Structure 1
């Protein structure tokens, strides 16, 4: 309902109620109008009044539940929707609304509700889209794609749905159809954000070194054309791209990220924003002499980013630092998020619009804002275009430069950097010293299972080589490792992880078409494992294979924590040197190769020589404690913060 007509309808409802107090139709319409106007508490009062005289009206119960859900009262909303369905079991709206309520609590139940709604009203486009989004949030991409396609079949003129489907097809490694969906969206409405996405699709799985270079050349040319066009993009934090897959090419990406940031800053002037307290810094409250440090991410829950940073939040000296944890929209509450909350001096769940989130951060009057990851999702990337603190830093949650001129420092580690890599940052580089660990990694509590290989469908007698990384990390150079191992070890079995859709696995099989069947038959894909089984697989594997050009970070620490032997080949850049740095930390170099051929030789020796492998396991177990709770890393980070307090 348009704003003007809504206001007229509200006036009319109130006139009717003056003439006929208690008129249920007028009161119900007034409740709808009041809710749509954003007056949720007033709408709640109206629906409560309606239910006093209409306790068996299923539509009123359902609408009242919508209001309760908007107010954050999920349990009351669930009660309302269930009551509506008790009265009218075939009320599709109530099933849809019940799905929306469960979506925040139990996504599996949400799926059941949406499917029930569609069994009643199979032509409801809005429910198809709700179900697709629910599947997307659970990373069930094939199901999400299916229901967005169903929605488009019902109505092909949905610009937003074409865009969402295109994004999912990109993730599913279906670049061709992703571009077609972007084209369909642009045929419905010209839009520079979509045009940029269509012109800059990168393959998720590259077929060769040559295809990587072709992709990069094509991307560079497309970006230069887009820069010359002069784009205008609204709300890039909702519709922009972060070029996540560039990092997996194994090259220096600085020029790309610089150009991308320049394009977005020019296309979206709204990204450039200066926090009010930085306009007049002399007006700040100076009673608290401690430096105010903010840690910001969407991933402060049971996630790699949280594991890499909780130690800093817990151990920064509170006599000198006030620590604020800023959680971006989309985070999931769990034991780890509660741990961050308990450790922080201030814990803030950021809510509302992008502009409101900026203002909430600015209101903290931070001295230093540390992004634990930029480049994994759009929100934090585009937030970093604002100046929210005098000093803004990023660290290696996503180990790539940002290209953003308002990010001042990249925090890395001396062992992770080379002469070549130091030139790959647009930020100034600060490195923890070789005396410190890569981060203050809190000692994990690891589950213990006694399951055998048979529990995972692996027969006895194999020399088991396990790579715990997703398909997009498997650079074409990894193929030489596969062939080298499988051609020389007839008892070798390589275990790999499936991607989020079958498309990535299919592209890898295409890449390996040249391998003889005797080798391909000894490559197996398994679904990503629950955490306890994931840890157990490190123990069951004879050798863990690190991925060249983008090494394990968190996964390597967890593997070493249980004594697994991880073979690695460090690259010139941070993203390919983390396993190397963890090994240097514990003083073990046995598994560090200098070439792909040496990588294969080390893997073969360890897999086929049980005594040598067991001796190395014992050595790792004896020294792995050095990986955890490293206070030296905290002290050096504190020193950097204090050194930088008077300027960037």
Structure 2
């Protein structure tokens, strides 16, 4: 009907504007753009047509053209709420978050109960690291429109990141009931359910999403990642995980063919992080998965073909560090901080791209050390643009597998040399990562075969750390019977493999009067209860009353955790997935550390620390030896003054764990050599 009106009188601008709106609603974007442009040829001051053209350009991904259209609308009508909202949306996608907040606040002032504008304001506030402001905006949007699926989803995402899983799941279900236009609430709900140990329910939600949205890459990837159990209850379940993941990867690849690009939007959104917690060689399935993710990312994002070539004419090598953990976090404290502190600025131009939202004093310190510092969160496309603009010689990922943006960037070829380190102590599996930085003391002789990347063995444990804080908060010690030995099993619950339960039972049986102390997970409390229940069953089966042996303390802040370690007698490292940060802290407290040096690097971290400080008599060579050494340590602790002397010796030796500047020098030399050898 509008076209009939235009045929009768083609000189009316509003006719063409209305046609643009109708075509846009049908998804005919380019014809809609031509209609809006015709309206503007007839009347360059038609504000609604400028706004309409901006909305089309957003949908087409042409953000600069969209921003220009919205600004022209605002020049004609400064308080145009739709144009302000549109401009704010563009600015969020461009990573210009402060400007976005200003535009969207103005839009809210003009239209205070518009749920779409409030939702976009929440997105902008979240991007400016104002989670409380974002939460308020999302809740206002839901008050204005209880069926606002986008706001329910975004608030759920915010709360899930804050570990408020129950309300987040409720909001996802609310969004689903509102019949959302995408599978996103289903995918998020499935992730929440998996995180809460409800794997079967998560699978059902993904199946429901695929029934409604068959082309949802997020739901397809969610099913593949769901094949990796976060927590296992039996040895059989643990052993089955690698092959289950390999089959899920094959199914995901079959779905993606022939157009692998359709998997691209989901790359990095979910990762097989917990596959590393299974004590088997998972290099091959991770390499197959890495090939698929890299292919999908390249076909979808299509980065420039010259980004992998060496730039010319620089005085220094440009090193871009990409991490979401530039803050108080084990990856920062163990891996990255020493590099930032010790890298020679005469040789390296250091840029730090902090993809995460959390900041603290360590973030500020890192900012002061970098030639350029870029803070997230930002949309992935904005991160790709930022890396592309920086044109790094070397991209360095201290870990790959903990953060969506980091993982997606690592899957692309954006620099001539791309490097990972053991912040996540397993191969990335990606064909785009050239080097893997590890340590000579934590790698087995045949460690090279466990990596897709070229393995680089740096001196010692491969890192340059600082001594742990000396602050100790007295732990509320519940008291114990004389002669009782306290063992600390203070690992994340997901690290305890069922195959190792028998070791704990045998140690308790042979030591006699003892306490096995677990520390509850801050996030996965259900897993803490599950591992406690599993150990209790194993103790009962071994003829031991678990109520006399098993103890659990709630999650502790660092100073309180230091006090807890002071009250323990022996630290039992986890055989299937060794600890480094906790072992580092335990040694600083002088705590005897029993560890079993396994066949994979992730099973040798504590042993590497012990070798670095010159205390090797508590490194076990077999499972039987692990039990023997734990029993011997318990007997020494009962010896009174002898135990005190042992702890003093360990505390003094622990100083050798830190300040390994040679590792940073070797890291720099390896980068220089590898970059020089790139074509």
| Pairwise TM-score range, normalised by the shorter structure | 0.7 to 0.9
- Could you tell me how far apart the structure 2 residues matched to 1:367 and 1:95 are? 41
Shift of 1:494: 1.5
Bigger CA drift: 470-479 or 104-113? 104-113
- Judge conservation of contact 2:51–2:82 (CA < 8 Å) in 1: no
- Judge conservation of contact 2:157–2:188 (CA < 8 Å) in 1: no
Bigger CA drift: 33-42 or 152-161? 33-42
Q: Which runs of 5 or more residues in structure 2 are unaligned?
A: 1-20, 58-62
CA 64–428 in structure 1, closer or farther in 2 if over 3 Å, else same: closer
SS, match of residue 498 in structure 2: coil
Q: Name 1:202's counterpart in structure 2.
A: 228
C-alpha offsets along residues 456-475 of structure 1, whole Å, 9 cap, x if unaligned?
xx455575433332211111
Q: Does the alignment pair 1:581 with 2:608? A: yes
SS, match of residue 450 in structure 2: coil
- Could you tell me how far apart the structure 1 residues matched to 2:103 and 2:562 are? 37
Correspondence 1:574-613 to 2 at 5 A: 574-594=601-621, 595=623, 596-598=626-628, 600-602=630-632, 604-605=634-635, 608-613=638-643
- Could you tell me how far apart the structure 1 residues matched to 2:369 and 2:495 are? 33
Kindly tell me the number of residue pairs found equivalent between the two proteins.
Answer: 624
Q: Does the alignment pair 1:482 with 2:516? A: no
- Judge conservation of contact 2:320–2:353 (CA < 8 Å) in 1: no
Q: Name 1:246's counterpart in structure 2.
A: 275
SS, match of residue 523 in structure 2: coil
Q: Name 2:580's counterpart in structure 1.
A: 553
Q: Name 1:636's counterpart in structure 2.
A: 666
Bigger CA drift: 360-369 or 256-265? 360-369
SS, match of residue 534 in structure 1: helix
Q: Does the alignment pair 1:492 with 2:491? A: no
- Could you tell me how far apart the structure 2 residues matched to 1:459 and 1:59 are? 65
CA 142–607 in structure 1, closer or farther in 2 if over 3 Å, else same: farther
- Judge conservation of contact 2:173–2:189 (CA < 8 Å) in 1: yes
Q: Name 2:355's counterpart in structure 1.
A: 329
The CA RMSD measured in Å over matched residues stands at 3.9
Q: Name 1:414's counterpart in structure 2.
A: 440
CA 173–299 in structure 1, closer or farther in 2 if over 3 Å, else same: same
Q: Name 1:388's counterpart in structure 2.
A: 414
CA 364–416 in structure 1, closer or farther in 2 if over 3 Å, else same: same
C-alpha offsets along residues 189-210 of structure 1, whole Å, 9 cap, x if unaligned?
2237333542452111112222
Q: Name 1:260's counterpart in structure 2.
A: 289
Shift of 1:492: 1.1
SS, match of residue 539 in structure 2: coil
Correspondence 1:444-593 to 2 at 5 A: 444=468, 446=469, 448-454=471-477, 458-459=478-479, 461=481, 463-487=485-509, 488-498=511-521, 500-509=523-532, 511-512=534-535, 513-516=537-540, 518-520=545-547, 522-593=549-620
Shift of 1:75: 10
- Could you tell me how far apart the structure 2 residues matched to 1:111 and 1:521 are? 46
- Judge conservation of contact 1:65–1:81 (CA < 8 Å) in 2: no
- Judge conservation of contact 2:323–2:355 (CA < 8 Å) in 1: no
C-alpha offsets along residues 395-439 of structure 1, whole Å, 9 cap, x if unaligned?
111111122223222221122111343321122222123xx4531
- Could you tell me how far apart the structure 2 residues matched to 1:162 and 1:199 are? 15
- Could you tell me how far apart the structure 2 residues matched to 1:384 and 1:93 are? 33
Higher relative contact order (CA 8 A, sep 6+): 1
- Judge conservation of contact 1:438–1:582 (CA < 8 Å) in 2: no
